[in-house]
Amino acid sequence: MHIQPGRLLIFIIIVGCIALSACGLLAPVLGPVYQTSTSNVDQGKDQGFIRFVNLTGDNLIYVDGNAVGSGEKFVSDSLLALSPGTHTVEIRKGSASVYNRKVFIGTGSTKSIELP
């Protein structure tokens, strides 16, 4: 079986990109993904969750640049439901950003984000 050189090159590029992204070597280009603790909740769900720790009512929460509410909604161990995937989570207090990270939300899992 003979593979055309052009197809082989495309295959090598695709495999290389997958390998680099799996190793985290593309983080300088795509931005780092910060891992937080995970606990399985329900693998049958088509969403994941964020639990906020040490949040106050003064905090404002943004996901992917969109306001989702004040910390008051999440101080009593309430969970924020999100679609699975990577999301940028920012927590502000007044005009100051106190937390700004990319986090991966797995299907049926809960990430804990703890403020200092």
Region 4-9 average pLDDT = 70
Long-range pairs for 9-18 at CB < 8 Å and ≥24 separation? none
Residue 102 Cα to chain centre, angstroms: 5
Q: What is the mean pLDDT of the chain?
A: 78
Q: What is the pLDDT of residue 2?
A: 61
Highest mean pLDDT among 26-30, 40-44, 82-86: 82-86
Q: Supply the pTM of this predicted model.
A: 0.61
Region 15-22 average pLDDT = 64
